[in-house]
Amino acid sequence: MPTNTNGGLTATERGKLECRDLNLYYGKTQALKRVSVCLQACQITALIGPSGCGKSTFLRCFNRMNDLIDNVSVTGQVLIDGEDIYGRGTDPALLRKRVGMVFQKPNPFPLSIYDNIAYGPRLHGTRDRGALEEIVEKSLRGAALWDEVKDTLRKSAFELSGGQQQRLCIARVLAVEPEVVLMDEPCSALDPTATYYIEELMLQLKESYTIVIVTHNMYQASRVSRQTGFFLMGELIEFAATEQIFENPSDPRTDDYIRGRFG
């Protein structure tokens, strides 16, 4: 069990995401072990730990992306606003509208900038041209990209730089009005300047969205997150306020990892 499941926050602050005794198996191999934690609304939570420790698998539990992998089984509960998303009757497609995901490498569709953003709203039934134009502009503004692309919306998304493509992917997520944004190492393929823009964008987005980020960059976790969880071999070893994790961790394994003694 993690040392502190409150992340240094007061009881009055609202929890958005919660796991209760969560276990996940790939066939007979257990990838997550008895994870119990509560993540706060409209905050950035960072997940750290060595490669293969389960943090990305944990992240994908919140939008049930692991369902797409053969022989995956889950026990325990994963809740959003108190609702068990693994309960009977949950529609994974509607869940993924509520919980968007940004991947490690930018993955724009082979479409125009405009059509990348309009894709999700169209899929969910929006056909009115004026409404789509409004969504596209709002989403690109939300991703701090509008001023850079407003005159080239019909150009291929592949003509954008890597950092712009990642912000386009964030805008594509925002276009379907999610409540939660999951980010799996969103800056690992970007240069320092592009990374700075993405981090600044995350800090702006947390005012409206609950953000959970997986990162191997300790400086990034300490800069942008309010809560941090440390995973090791499928277990959530420690979860606390980011300042506590990096300055005064309770578990020696957390301290060893942050100081670079392994991982």
pLDDT given for residue 3 in this prediction: 46
Identify the band that residue 4 occupies on the pLDDT scale cut at 50, 70 and 90.
very low
Identify the band that residue 13 occupies on the pLDDT scale cut at 50, 70 and 90.
low
d(CA 118, CA 104): 22
Does the pTM surpass 0.75? The reply is yes
Identify the band that residue 88 occupies on the pLDDT scale cut at 50, 70 and 90.
confident
Sign (positive or negative) of CA dihedral 59, 63, 68, 70: positive
- CA atoms in the 13 A half-sphere facing the CB of 123: 14
The answer to whether position 3 is within a domain reads no
Q: Phi/psi at 55 (nearest 5 deg)?
A: -70, -40
Residues 32 and 1: beta-carbon distance below 8 Å: no
The answer to whether position 263 is within a domain reads no
Q: Provide the CATH number for the domain around residue 126.
A: 3.40.50.300
Diameter of the chain measured on Cα atoms: 57
The answer to whether position 10 is within a domain reads no
pLDDT given for residue 89 in this prediction: 87
| pLDDT per position as a tens digit, 129-169 | 999 999 999 999 999 999 999 999 999 999 999 999 999 99
Identify the band that residue 15 occupies on the pLDDT scale cut at 50, 70 and 90.
confident
Look at the chain and report how many structural domains it folds into.
Answer: 1
Average pLDDT over residues 50-74: 95
Identify the band that residue 116 occupies on the pLDDT scale cut at 50, 70 and 90.
very high
Find the helix or strand (DSSP H, E) in which 18 lies. strand 15-26
The answer to whether position 148 is within a domain reads yes
- Which range of residues forms the domain containing residue 207? 15-258
The answer to whether position 63 is within a domain reads yes
The answer to whether position 7 is within a domain reads no
d(CA 39, CA 229): 10
